[in-house]
Amino acid sequence: DAGVIQSPRHEVTEMGQEVTLRCKPISGHNSLFWYRQTMMRGLELLIYFNNNVPIDDSGMPEDRFSAKMPNASFSTLKIQPSEPRDSAVYFCASSRIARNTGELFFGEGSRLTVL
């Protein structure tokens, strides 16, 4: 079975450029999560979706960040304009949640470097 698939695996860009990260969750999962990992802050939840609907985006740092889930098999996280402090590893994860239970599975992450 395919796991959570993220692209690109690595992205190097210059400050001010738009960055789009992509995620395909595991088929049949109804919840999708975007996390960011840095040395300073560890793993932070940015936003999560349930049945393609954003439920909690309180972790999104600021208006430069946006996320969409147009269908059950695809999500994007966009940063526009990017800044050096956005450099981090961005993880997508998915789960089949029922009654607040359900195992979470992570993709391999997208390592973003903003120069």
Partner 1 sequence: GIQVEQSPPDLILQEGANSTLRCNFSDSVNNLQWFHQNPWGQLINLFYIPSGTKQNGRLSATTVATERYSLLYISSSQTTDSGVYFCAVRGSARQLTFGSGTQLTVLP
16 vs 1: CA distance, rounded Å: 38
Position 99 contacts partner 1 (CB under 8 A): yes
Position 15 contacts partner 1 (CB under 8 A): no
What are φ and ψ of residue 111, in 5° steps? Answer: -90, 115
Minimum distance, C-beta of residue 53 to partner 1, in the bound complex (Å) = 12
Position 108 contacts partner 1 (CB under 8 A): yes
Binder of partner 1 out of 48, 79, 82, 112 (CB under 8 A): 48
In the block, which residue shows the tokens 């940015």? Answer: 46
Q: Which is nearer to partner 1, 50 or 87 (CB)?
A: 50
Locate the DSSP E strands across the chain.
5-7, 10-13, 19-24, 31-38, 42-50, 53-56, 65-71, 74-79, 88-95, 104-106, 110-114
Q: Which is nearer to partner 1, 81 or 104 (CB)?
A: 104
Q: Which stretch binds partner 1 (CB under 8 A): 16-24, 40-48, 70-78, 79-87?
A: 40-48
Position 31 contacts partner 1 (CB under 8 A): yes
Contact 46, 60 (CB under 8 A): yes
- The helix/strand/coil state of 16 is coil
Which residues in this chain contact partner 1 in the complex, by CB under 8 A? 31, 33, 42-43, 45, 48, 50, 55-56, 89, 91, 97, 99-106, 108-109, 111
